[in-house]
Amino acid sequence: MSNADFTEYRLFRMIRVMWRRVFYHRTTASLPRVFLGLTEISGYYAQLSRGLRELGYEVTFVDLHQHSFEYGGDDQPFWARITCRCHRNLVGAQHGSKAQRLLWYALCAISQTALFVSAVTRHDVFVFGFMSKFIHYRELILLRLLGKRIIHVFHGSDSRPAYSCGCIVGAANDVAACVRAAAAQKAAIRLIENSSHVLVSHPSHCHFHERPVVRTTAIGLPTPRVDANTLPIQSNKNNVRLLHCPSDPSAKGSAAIREVVESIAASNYAVTYVEVSGRPNADVLNELATCDIVVDQIYSDAAASGLASEAAAFGRPTIIAGYVDEDTRSRIPRSEQIPVCYCHPSNLRSTLLRLIESPALREQIGSQAKAFVLSRTDHLSLPRRFAKLIEDDVPKDWLFNPYDIKHAYCAGMSEQAGRHSVRKVIEFGGLRALQLGDKPILEQSFYSYATKSDHSDLKAPHLHPHNHCPLV
């Protein structure tokens, strides 16, 4: 055999092996091979990957984003390690020369494409979190053509309208940037919806969705395994220990929470305030074991959170404040609602005082939350329910229709700031800039929400729904 023939033979063998890896499902394993990525959110994917492995699935979890929370559980195959290194160098080159930035950008694109090709040859199901992507969502069409199952999980600020999300409004330079962000968000969600088999999201932030989604609450949230025998005994029963663990202090309203706690302390209540931010999740769990009350956030659009689920595992009551109306909350079955103290931000002080003054009430709510966790969201509950999405066995009563959202509200910022943000967006680009043309009732609700603020100077000519928005 000549060298040319041998090279051709080797090339043919490589192509055949790759083809079989993509289309051939192994007969020795009845369960599909699952890829999770490309980021971590509140330990969701670390626990999901561990649980799916316990259920017998072959799982690869890749987290390309370095953060300080150290949830662990992610795998780092060769191309994932190379891509992470390229991303770090790209960030470090932002203040370097243009040639350096272009070099690392090109290397990031090449390594991430190689990671995608490697993942395609080894997996049957792809689970993407927080709108993560390999190649600007272009890979979704190819994955569908190759017969792969695609599941997208949304976590909040990725699907919540940019103009009603405090962490995006705070980062945007001006109203034009916010309008562009909302338009890009809507376009990306539409592309994801057209290419994915299953969408998972919370009913409180499905404004931009056009397809039914699986409720996040129907699947559950990550819950740590807690050994009651290892819990420390609190040394001072007369001093109430308050814990606040903001991932984003601005969006969680940490300044307002501190102000409330300081006013309570000034009223001669024996309280100790502990704030944990930017530290490993293990540190948060240690603090949960010794605290009495958890104050999660003050501007939430959902009466649940990953922290509340973790606190429930320790039997600790959690306070969450926000603006979600009872009608929206009632669309989530009671059986899916973790027991927490949900209140309006203006009632945070009175709610916190009730818990401080009543150890029995703290014990009652904490016990109810722990019972909920033990009965419904143990460490394998999330993986078992998620396995139904993987196996295309989604119960119809898990679905939520985004067109049922009728009320406007914000998250991650005060109501006054939210109304101001929406009003500026409408003034700039008309109702079209809200990206809610497919939901006229919700669109009108946001208009009413914006004009309800004091001394509104919203200009009527810009409100026609067909006004052209130059940035959309």
CA–CA gap between residue 363 and residue 31 (Å, rounded) = 43
Residue 170: which of 423, 401, 467, 417 has the closest Cα?
A: 417
Q: Which residues contact 340 (CB under 8 A, 6 or more apart)?
A: 296, 303, 304, 308, 317, 318, 319, 320, 365, 369
Average pLDDT over residues 145-173: 89
Confidence bin at 461 (pLDDT 50/70/90): very low
Report whether 218 contacts 271 (CB < 8 A). no
Burial class (CB in 10 A: 0-12, 13-18, 19+), 448: exposed
Sign, CA torsion 218/221/225/227: negative
Report whether 310 contacts 289 (CB < 8 A). no
Q: What angle do CA 194, 200, 201 make, to 5 degrees?
A: 110
Strands 213-215 and 399-400: antiparallel
Give the single-character DSSP code of 407.
-
The reported pLDDT for the residue numbered 14 is 56
Provide the CB-side half-sphere exposure for 181 (13 A, CA). 23
228-378: which CATH topology?
A: Rossmann fold (3.40.50)
**Residue ranges of the chain assigned to CATH 3.40.50.2000:** 228-378
The structure's pTM equals 0.84
Confidence bin at 324 (pLDDT 50/70/90): confident
Sign, CA torsion 401/178/67/225: negative
The reported pLDDT for the residue numbered 70 is 54
Inform me whether the pLDDT recorded for 469 exceeds 60: no
Residue 68: which of 257, 263, 248, 304 has the closest Cα?
A: 248
Domain 27-219 is of which CATH architecture? 3-Layer(aba) Sandwich (3.40)
The reported pLDDT for the residue numbered 6 is 47
Q: Which residues contact 100 (CB under 8 A, 6 or more apart)?
A: 93
397-453, pLDDT tens digit by residue?
999 999 999 889 899 999 999 999 999 999 999 999 999 999 999 999 999 999 975
Q: Which residues contact 21 (CB under 8 A, 6 or more apart)?
A: 121, 122
φ, ψ of residue 309 to 5 degrees: the values are -65, -40
